[in-house]
Each structure stands twice: as structure tokens, then as C-alpha cells.
Amino acid sequence: MRRNIVGMATEDAVREALATVNDPEIHRPITELGMVKSIEIDADGVVAVTVYLTVSGCPMRETITNNVTEAVARVEGVSRVEVTLDVMSDEQRKELASSLRGGTAEREVPFAQPGSLTRVYAVASGKGGVGKSSVTVNLAAAMAADGLKVGVVDADIYGHSVPRMLGVDGKPTQVENMIMPPSAHGVKVISIGMFTPGNAPVVWRGPMLHRALQQFLADVYWGDLDVLLLDLPPGTGDIAISVAQLVPNAEILVVTTPQQAAAEVAERAGSIAVQTHQKIVGVVENMSGMPCPHCDEMVDVFGSGGGRRVAEGLTKTIGAEVPVLGSIPIDVRLREGGDEGKPVVLSDPDSPAGAALRSIAQKLGGRQRGLSGMSLGITPRNKF
């Protein structure tokens, strides 16, 4: 039996320190995930901690080692920390995967369940080139900066661009049949681009697109998200239909430009909500104007009023009010942020585009999910 020496580190104190270390991919304490294999403390205050990695090639091994070392070194009485890494057995990984899923069956989309409190927004556009992906990543980054837990599914399989725009350079890690998504700026991200070599094109047809989206929603460990954004491909093709089937409670956010041609196509894309019985949360008008560099007067490069026309048309089509959530001016910093992986809402939040995007994010992030479809756990009582 080890003697209780005054000033000597205790196993309880070390374990308490380890509870502050989160797995960088799962974002939960390593003690809670069963990743702490052993703790040994000698009389000189040297603490040896052995930590289980989920897989042998874990890309975060160095991060875990550093975080464990720093946390344990702060414990009173610790003179040195030695961290050894081991790898979970197949059985341990299965137990971890089952625990993360909450004991539910595989292939279940958590956001489609009646008890889900995650707000799901499918960001759609009628045509390409209107800045839908730029809007998606900036809304995600702004919501995360406001303290929300946010995830993004890059559902534009053919034209995936979200990882670059968000500055995600990590790769997913697989634990059993569960995928741990990388993150950037506090946003978890999954994209087909993370699984293809280089800039190789994706040449798939409908059934494969549906399967990929299903995997992104069901096999990825998203955790307890407040908001999930899906960056859809332009138009009303297979992915839009699959989203309606897999996540019927997803609300559609329509992105357009002021241009008449773009507005007409955007209205057509939003009208799919009538057939899929989804709600349209609102319209965002991107590229609404450009400040003149000489007089600051707004120049309507792509015309004006497109967002309003789309909202009015969709309101008539679906029979419910569809608001214009905001207008985003043309700003070179928005483009530069996308190229550099630094969303403008973070790099220059008070710029015209940054401020407009943050305002839209606050409107969407602050919305409460309704009780429709949720089990309230109430049993009616017979009065007689």
C-alpha cells in the first residue's frame, strides 16, 4: 500500500486532471471515453500515464500526448510526466462506438429522430456561382464563434469546396464503422474531398450520391450539435431529394444574387419544398452591391431586388411567409477569406460582408426548435 505523503500527487488528483483533457476528434474527456489505461506514481513525483489511442495511426497522437502532459504537470506534487501510448483492441473500439451512439443501431441518422434538438439547414441555390458555399462556411464559423456547436456537411459531391474555405486540412479518423470528422474554427466538417486523392473528380450517379450522404449523416460522429448546415449542390437533383428523405425536418435556406435570371432559378430550387413538405427558413441575397472605391456609393453590379423577388415568389408558392434574412455586399475580403481558409466573419467581422453574415447567423442560430414531432413524455390521465 502506498503511503499518503503530504504534498505527494494522488491518483485521484491525476485522474481529475485527465478529465479536463478532451479527445481532439471526439471532443469528450479521455477519462469518459475509457482512453486512460493506467496511472502510476512513484515516490519522487514522477507520474506515468498510459493512454489508449482509438487507432494505431491516430493523427492526433502528438496533440493527445502534449495535452495529457500539460494537464498532469499542473497537479500538485508532480515532478515529471511520462506518457505512453497504446492502442485500443477491437472489442474496446466496438464498446466506444456503441457508447458514442448511445446504444442505438448503426445507420440511424440522429438528426431525423423526433427527440433531436439540432437545427438542420439545407443551404440551396438554383444555379452555381452565387456564393452558396461562401455563405455556408461563414454562417457556420459565425455561429461557432457565438458559442454554438456546429457541423457542416459538404453535400456538393461534385463541386466540394467547404474544407478549403474553412481551412480544414485534417483527415477523418475511422473507429469501427464510425467516422470522426476533422474541425476548424470550432466547426466539424465532412466532405467527399477528404476521401479522394488530390483534386480528382467524383464521377458518381444517383444511388452512390444517396449512399455518400447517408454515410455523412449516419456514420459520422457529430456529437450533440446545436446546428448542422448542409451545403447542397445547385439545382433540384438527387442530393436535394435525398436530404428530404434522410432528414425530413431540415429547413431550406435559399441563396441567390439580385440578378433576375439567378432569382428565377433560385425560386425554382426553393419550390421543391412544396413537394418534399419542408419549411423554407428564408432567403439570403448575396452579391447585393459593390461599394464604389471612390465615392462609397453602392453599385448594383448584378441588379437589385432579387432576394425580395425570390422571397415573394416562394411566399405565394408555399402559402407561408418566407423572409429575406439579409443582403451581403460584394467584398473582396469575402473571396480572399475563402481562398485562405479564414472566413471573413472571423478575419474581418466588422466589414460590410462580415457584419451582414454575422447578422444572418444570429437570426438562424438564435431560433428555437419547435415541439412538432417531438415526444413530450406526457401520458393523458383519465378523469373518470
Give residue limits of the domains in the chain. 11-100, 110-365
Cα distances (Å, whole numbers) of residue 24 to 93, 141, 281? 17, 18, 33
Q: Quote the pLDDT of residue 206.
A: 52
Lowest mean pLDDT among 51-65, 85-99, 204-218: 204-218
The per-residue DSSP string of 200-237 comes to: PPP---HHHHHHHHHHHHHTB---S-SEEEEEPPSSSS
Is 373 annotated for ligand binding? Answer: no
Beta pairing, strands 251-256 & 280-286: parallel
Rounded distance, CA 168 to CA 171, Å? 8
Mean pLDDT value of segment 281-308: 76
Is 133 annotated for ligand binding? Answer: yes
Is 319 annotated for ligand binding? Answer: no
Mean pLDDT value of segment 367-384: 48
Match 446546428 to its residue by C-alpha cell: 227
Rounded distance, CA 214 to CA 243, Å? 9
Rounded distance, CA 244 to CA 236, Å? 11
Burial level of 283, CB count in 10 A (0-12/13-18/19+)?
buried
Higher confidence at residue 266 or residue 378?
266
Is the domain spanning 11-100 CATH 3.20.20.70? The answer is: no
Mean pLDDT value of segment 252-276: 78
Is 127 annotated for ligand binding? Answer: yes
Per-residue pLDDT tens for 92-139?
Answer: 887 887 777 666 555 678 888 888 899 999 998 877 778 899 999 999
**223 pLDDT more than 90:** no
The CATH number for 110-365, chosen from 3.40.50.20, 3.55.10.10, 3.40.50.720, 3.40.50.300, is: 3.40.50.300
Is 78 annotated for ligand binding? Answer: no
Q: CA-based diameter of the chain, in Å?
A: 81
**242 pLDDT more than 70:** yes
Is 370 annotated for ligand binding? Answer: no
Give 6's pLDDT tier (boundaries 50, 70, 90): very low
Q: Quote the pLDDT of residue 160.
A: 80
Q: Quote the pLDDT of residue 369.
A: 55
**Which range scores top for mean pLDDT: 34-48, 58-72, 135-149, 301-315?**
135-149
**375 pLDDT more than 70:** no
Beta bridge partners of 175: 178
Is 130 annotated for ligand binding? Answer: yes
